[in-house]
Amino acid sequence: MTKLTKRVHVAVGVILNNNKQILLAKRHGHLHQGGKWEFPGGKVESDETVTQALIRELKEEVNITVNSSAPFMDISHNYPDKHVRLDIHLVTDFSGEAKGMEQQQIEWVSLQQLADYDFPEANKPILNRILAEFEI
């Protein structure tokens, strides 16, 4: 008997504010990759574009209204239990005050401190790219 590995397409936001801080959220313990810090985002539903999913998820999860976004990186990663495609977008133009809408911990983290946080395995290239792009 074979069981197909779950595949998910995820819209992910690297939200950068004017103080050069990036918004991180802590995944609840019971979730996939629970306890790790993530960039806010979530699954793209079948009836929406990645941009629509990004806008919806950032509003639902962290109360941020995206005014515009730019494609930043596309990563496919195979976890033992799940295959993820992370469609990562840079968000510098947004409004609203960040809030953990799902009782999750959130933090604005300076670029210098980003490497101190524990991220899911798939996020390593994102970290490297952010640090290279913004010249840390």
Interface residue with ligand 8GT among 59, 82, 83, 129 (CB under 6 A) is 82
What is the three-class DSSP state of 57?
helix
Is 31 a binding residue for ligand 8GT by CB under 6 A? The answer is: yes
> Is 72 annotated to bind ligand?
no
Q: Which is nearer to Mg ion, 56 or 131 (CB)?
A: 56
Spell out, one character per residue from 114 to 133, where the chain touches ligand 8GT: x when CB under 6 A holds, - when not.
------x-xx----------
CA distance 11 to 88: 6
Q: Which is nearer to ligand 8GT, 1 or 3 (CB)?
A: 3
Residue 68, Cβ density class (10 Å: 0-12 exposed, 13-18 middle, ≥19 buried) = exposed
> Residues 30-49: x/- map of binding to Mg ion (CB under 5 A)?
------------x-------
Q: Kindly state whether residue 32 participates in binding ligand 8GT, applying the rule CB under 6 A.
A: yes
Residue 104: is it exposed, middle or buried by C-beta count within 10 angstroms (0-12/13-18/19+)? Answer: middle
Instruction: Collect all residues with Cβ–Cβ distance below 8 Å to 38 and sequence separation of at least 6.
Output: 12, 24, 25, 26, 27, 119, 120, 123
On whether 45 is known to bind a ligand per the annotation, the reply is: no
Provide the binding-site residues for ligand 8GT, judged by CB under 6 A. Answer: 8, 10, 12, 31-33, 38-39, 41-43, 57, 82, 84, 86, 120, 122-123
Provide the binding-site residues for Mg ion, judged by CB under 5 A. Answer: 42
